[in-house]
Amino acid sequence: MKAMVVKAAQAPITLEERPKPKAGPGQVVIKVKACGVCHSDMAMQQGVFPFGKFPIVLGHEVAGVVDEVGPGVTWPKVGGSVGMPWLYDSCGHCDLCVRGDEIMCPEMTITGVNRDGGYQEYMLAPAAYVAPIPEGLDFAEAAPLMCAGLTVFNGIRVAGYKPGAKVAVMGLGGLGSLAVQYAKSLGARVAVLSTSPEKAKEAEKLGAEKFINTKKEDVVQALRAWDGGADIIVATAPNPEPMTQAFPGLAADGTLVVLGVGPGMITTSPMDLVGQRRKLMGSPSGSRHDLRDTLKFSLHNDVKPQIVKMKLEDAPKAHELMHGGKLVGRAVLIME
């Protein structure tokens, strides 16, 4: 089978012929149909994650079909449609795992970071950690929901979203366009904050009532002019500077939720926190129940990622386009 492999930090992504994996006890082999390309894949390739291992097959937005099940596996069944997200495995017995927060388990392993992921034709996965893909979602559209979709849907939830709240989405890339759709489907009023004025039309099309050009406008003033400020700011881009700038644009009891990890510091003053009881928090993608919720919600509310289909062998090109900011939508590798 074909696998796209990164042999060492900062090494290129190269095609390798590998033997098809065999499912061991508790494992399944997934025939990968589609795998989304995430910014974290690029970070991994560049050696940013201290817990990463090389050589590695990148990819944690996997959608495919169960091809083989190992000894002792009673679910899923061969032929079932399943996905694999960022969370590959966890200890299963710590307090966090037991309460359904395995995404924060200290023993967790990560798909495409320290376990081989979806940039290949077949991958191994622990049976207990695959997500069933509901009927009606196609593989190419389901793939980006495993990370991009899960991260924003769950981020909005954990930020304490209430129906009718004002949600400001920072950045209108892959995550941002999904965030606008989820927020609208949840009944929110939505604003988009972006440095690219040409995104205004897209924001409007997706249902945002307000577009703030952060290069031209004072973000705090613009947000406060929006009925007193945003109840939730969803920071989809990992750059901390715009978060620092926008934070005082939160309404009383508002929350800024950080979804991406980048270098630098987010700063705020005790005054901006205390006076209006504002909150600053982060959210890592999500656990298994969050992913199931994300997939079902996306299907029944017709939330769809914008995708650009590419061949498995074009993974390096997908990274190049993503790096240059030239992708309109999420690159999804399609295996024939």
Write out the residues near Zn ion by the rule CB under 5 A. Answer: 38, 40, 90-91, 94, 97, 105, 147
Q: Are strands 230-235 and 166-170 parallel, antiparallel or unpaired?
A: parallel
| Closer Cβ to Zn ion, 145 or 159, answer by number | 145
| Selection from 156, 153, 173, 154 nearest residue 37 by Cα | 173
| Closer Cβ to Zn ion, 59 or 254, answer by number | 59
- 96 three-class SS: helix
Q: How far apart are the first and last CA of the chain?
A: 12
Q: How far is the CB of 46 from Zn ion (least distance, A)?
A: 14
Distance CA 53, CA 113 (A): 6
- For 178-199, letters b (16+ CB in 10 Å) and e give bbbbbbbbbebbbbbbbeeeeb
Q: How far is the CB of 91 from Zn ion (least distance, A)?
A: 3
Q: How far is the CB of 62 from Zn ion (least distance, A)?
A: 11
| Closer Cβ to Zn ion, 97 or 137, answer by number | 97
Q: How far is the CB of 226 from Zn ion (least distance, A)?
A: 30
Which residues, listed in sequence order, are joined to residue 146 by a DSSP beta bridge? none
| Closer Cβ to Zn ion, 108 or 299, answer by number | 108
- Chain centre to alpha carbon of residue 331: 13
| Closer Cβ to Zn ion, 35 or 219, answer by number | 35
| Selection from 22, 30, 36 nearest residue 65 by Cα | 30
Q: How far is the CB of 9 from Zn ion (least distance, A)?
A: 18
Q: How far is the CB of 29 from Zn ion (least distance, A)?
A: 22
The helix (H) or strand (E) run that includes residue 253 is strand 250-258
Distance CA 145, CA 64 (A): 13
| Closer Cβ to Zn ion, 90 or 283, answer by number | 90
| Selection from 72, 60, 52 nearest residue 11 by Cα | 52
Q: How far is the CB of 217 from Zn ion (least distance, A)?
A: 30
Give the angle subtended at the CA of 148 by the CAs of 237 and 245, to the nearest 5°: 20
| Closer Cβ to Zn ion, 13 or 23, answer by number | 13
